[in-house]
Structure 1
Amino acid sequence: MGKKNQTWVSEFLLLGLSTDWGTQVSLFVLFLAMYLLTVLGNLLIIILIKLDSKLHTPMYFFLSILSFVDICYTNSTVPQMLVHFLSARKSIPFHSCVLQLYISLAMGSTEFFLLGAMAYDRYVAVCHPLHYMVIMHGGLCLRLASACLTAGLSNSLMQTLMIFQLPFCRTVINHFACEMLAVLRLSCVDISLNKVMVAISGFLVIMLPCILVLFSYAHIVAAILRIRSSQGRRKAFGTCASHLTVVSMCFGTAIFTYMRPVGRSSAGQEKMVALFYAVVTPMLNPLIYSLRNNDVIGALKRTLEKLKENK
């Protein structure tokens, strides 16, 4: 009976964030502004790193990949959410839902692995500064970035296949997007195996990179404390401050949400966390890395000066 019901599912209905028209219009304006800022900010980071030779270093290579991932993540959910704010019927076709869940989960997983790789990069820069460019050579950076993307795509593929082979007895998703836990609740069969796989996936995608980050920063802090001059300590910590800020936001929220039993997270909490990762984090990342980074600010000034000269 369950599988028969599943064959008739051609679309899902999303409840969204609010049913009040005035609230939805206000949210549309707010999230449209945040979406534009996210896309433009991350594109600016990618363009500056591409154009300025002084930013052709491993750290900025990983930052450009992170910006690209953030753009893909945001585009997987936010445009549809904006359309639904102004729509009376918030529906999404079955195959679009599958694709949305796959891309958002893949990009989210990739981001955690990337933050772990960036932590390793900062560890080498602070703890082995004389051998930094030898260790973090171009080939290693490409392999690390490829491994992060492959791991994220593989994890998402496994989770997506397991979720959408389930029979669905309901088609109304209490969310603004096809989010993993929200879609799982639509199934009319036992999802114990899926809960176990979510827990295992959470450990591999969240906890393993988090352990790498903690290991790296433990050695970084120890190395910084051995620096005698206060100016040297500030400079060493300054190279890690932006990354540490992003890591604290991403891993803190993810551990709180996804490392708990699936049944203990409410739909409201899941919506807030999904908004954080789809809208807030991608918007803040370029701001954090640019406003706190003299190299990026300098690259922006040099690029603007070149544009003025060309005119």
Structure 2
Amino acid sequence: MQHFISLENLNIEVIRELIEDAISFKKRNAYPNLSNHYISNLFFENSTRTKLSFEMAEKKTGMEIIYFDAESSSIKKGETLYDTVKTLNSIGVECFVIRHWEDRFYENLISKFDVPIINAGDGCGDHPTQSLLDLITIQEEFGEFRDLNVVIVGDVVHSRVAHSDAKILQRLGANISFATPEFWRDSTMTMGRYTTIDEAIPKADVVMLLRNQNERHSQQYDEGNFLSLYGLTKERASNMKAHSIIMHPAPINRGVEIDEDLIESPKSRIFTQMTNGVFARISVLNYVFNS
């Protein structure tokens, strides 16, 4: 059994296998059999897509889900994450999908448990299953990553999606750039160049928008004018290449990061990403139990 905490610690061959497995599961509508395995999804931050697509993946593979609600758990009495995992493992849970507000929360767990820990998002750090579904979406569209121009637009410094995607896409040979207001630049993100959205859009094969993470902001910004200054307007989208696509991890702040009319436009792959999230997570579950 394997933990799944980041794509950074996986070699490229393994990542390509995860992508191909997910695409195969999707095409064949056939899934690995993981029945009689008990799993629990521990989400300490709000989630719709990640949490529910994990549940769908677990049900499609026949897993038994032991449901957990942070709001009604002993976390409210001061129980630590370690003790929560230890308790559920003691009663028979064999795998944990965890989203937590603390960066690298998993470091206190992976050396102490011999059951898989799957990172469903750690603070502003990493979101490996979102990255995987993004890779699947790009692979389906272009067939390869090398020399693709990917621009990541928006709240880079607070986005675990930006951190995960930029690193793995660079390793796969894509050219990365960031288009973000200066106050959301991240000096640690050195794998791509910073530019403006108006400069980047005409060159991009993939326009990857980010959600403005207002819950993590310590300073105010002009949200009312964000779209016209920094977001994907219809005018900017008209300058995209004929084959280029729009992506967004969601949830979407409609009319803030992106003009509402573009969300379900022919160039948008936003809901395709959501579909691919189920198959990405089936691929991960197969990996942690069968590799």
State the structure with more CA Rg: 1
Query: Higher strand proportion, which one?
Result: 2
Normalized against structure 1, the TM-score is what? 0.27
**More helix by percentage:** 1
